Amino acid sequence: MITMGTFKDEKDVIVGKAKEKIGEWTNNEELAHSGKEQAHEGQIKKEHDQKRVNELEDKNDERDARNDRTTPENVSSEELLRAENPDANKISSADRRDADQLKHYTGIEDKL
């Protein structure tokens, strides 16, 4: 994932390295030192941001995995009926089907 912070951190690394090299070539120790610090800070921020992105992606993957286990597509219709109506075991499947069709066709299902 690329963010504006990522671009800024990458810029700091590149500019810092450039300052460091220019400072070395011109024998300007102060410029070389500030460039080295800027590059180091940019690298640390980049690594921190990447770690945070990885943590968020892991949390998102865990949440998706939990949701996948409980989606209606993964739960059988019998389990859904039992969850909706605990007395559903007392009704035969044919009677339950007929009752569901009647609710659907009469619109009672929408009012419940």
Q: What is the mean pLDDT of the chain?
A: 78
- Number of domains present in the structure of the chain: 1
- The contacts of residue 15 (CB under 8 Å, 6+ apart) are 35, 38, 39
The answer to whether the pTM exceeds 0.75 is no
Mean pLDDT, residues 83-89 taken together: 58
More confident position, 41 or 97: 41
Q: Name the pLDDT band for 5 (thresholds 50, 70, 90).
A: low
Query: And the tokens for 2?
Result: 């690329």
Residues 25-76 pLDDT 10s: 999 999 999 999 999 999 999 899 889 888 988 888 888 877 766 555 555 6
User: What is the CB neighbour count within 10 angstroms for residue 13?
Assistant: 19
Q: Domain limits at 81?
A: 4-111
